[in-house]
Amino acid sequence: MNAAIQWCDLEGSGMPGRIQPDERRPHFFLSYARSRYRPEESDRWVVKFYNDLCTDLGHATGTQNPGFMDRQIPAGSEWPDLLADALANCRIFVALFSPAYFVSDYCGKEWAAFMKRYQGQSAGLARPSAIIPAMWTPMGLKELPDSVRTMQNVPPAFPPAYEAEGLYGIMKLGRFREQYKETVLRLANLIKERAAECALPSSPVPTLETLRSAFAGDPPDARRPAVRLTLAAQTIGQLPEGRGPYYYGQTTREWTPYRGPDHTTPIGRFAEEILGELGHRAEVKGVDEGPHEPGEAPNVLLVDPWAARDEGIGKRLRQIDRDPVTMIAPFNSGDAETAAASAELTEELDEALPRSGALQGSAKHVSSAGAFRSALPKAVNEAITRYLKTTNVHPPRTPPSMGRPTLQGPEF
């Protein structure tokens, strides 16, 4: 562990975090939602905005660490820990507002984690807001959740095109080039000023898995069951001969089968974001985190083509297949090792999961992140249909104090 980073755990709180020296703390954490259509293309514009903002903020502050964006987490790193580090140490939380942002369960959890830290450090203090919205696309007041409508989304001094078109619009339209540069510079100065005004100390944040999205409405009812996503993949220390570590991490949750310059999101988080857009709550767990309980919830198995080569995981897959589940196997077409061993890996998966692979909705060769985005909703729909057909679901009984419902109208 880097000696410049210290672990800090509030006793009994379950809120881990590594507290960084002041000069290494990021000035801002960028929270953003990926586009549902061609996310790799859309994310390229977010990365450009992030880099431009870091450049201007770096000049304004002289800091060596202007900002944090999840794309800078390197392969093989402990993704949840580094994300928690950034949320625990950033001075300002920059939220990239868009329609997709407020339906993203993960963005809502990032917001909730930062707000718990901010509120814990600001009790009794007249501290200004440490959340700064950045309008990625223009949004009317009615499109925003009630909890954020009172925020000043566009400060008065910002260029008019920013409010009318949003950051994405003024980046794409050449005639707004100068207004884009002015907007980014003003955002950088605002972050610098607000960070100084807030003087928010570092402190641990809750684990994201334990939080509910800050933008969630009422809890999901029985008609929208939670979906369990089970990840079956090795960690770096388990890899078989001939398999490199590029797509793996220290835990199963860090498995990133579509990793590349345009995609750095672990498959579990990527799937959770997709389900959030569809209105489902996801429960993500590794195949090694506990026994598979059939019938508990609709279940989709995300399985690494190399997983069956691990003796322990192979055994678990065969156990799961006794009560088969809808499965998706990411075969990244850009992964040379997987492509070279495709025939053997397919045969091994078929041997370990013959019944699951044959289910309607299962997809055994998903070649890209875009293809996965298309395959997952189909797999989830089939998993829910199967769950409802095979699970005893009873309507609530009418309480004894109530009469039987009738079709008669009210009496006047």
pLDDT at 247 over 90: yes
Give 252-307 as a 3 state SS string.
HHHCCCCCECCECCCHHHHHHHHHHHCCCCEEEEECCCCCCCCCCCCEEEEECCCH
Helix axes 105-122, 79-89, angle to 10 degrees: 40
Per residue in 280-320, pLDDT tens? 778 899 988 765 565 678 899 999 999 999 999 999 999 99
Only one residue has tokens 């920013």, namely 162
User: Would you say 247 and 259 are in contact if contact means Cβ atoms under 8 Å apart?
Assistant: yes
pLDDT of residue 21: 72
Radius of gyration for the chain, computed over Cα atoms and rounded to the nearest angstrom: 24
Max mean pLDDT among 35-49, 110-124, 131-145 falls in: 131-145
CB-CB contact of 370 with 363 (8 Å)? no
Residue type, 163: E
The two three-digit tokens of residue 394, written as one number:
């009873």
The helix, strand and coil proportions of the chain, stated in percent and rounded to the nearest 5, come to 45, 15, 45
Contacts of residue 37, defined as CB under 8 A and 6 or more positions apart, other chains included, come to none
Q: Which amino acid is at 76?
A: G
Which residue segments constitute the domains of the chain, with CATH numbers given?
Answer: 6-210 (3.40.50.10140), 227-390 (3.40.50)
133/404: higher pLDDT: 133
For the full predicted model, state whether its pTM sits above 0.75. Answer: no
- The pLDDT, as a whole number, for residue 40 is 61
Q: Render pLDDT for 13-26 as a digit per residue (tens, 0 to 9).
A: 345 456 667 778 99
Say how far apart CA 325 and CA 361 lie, in whole Å. Answer: 10
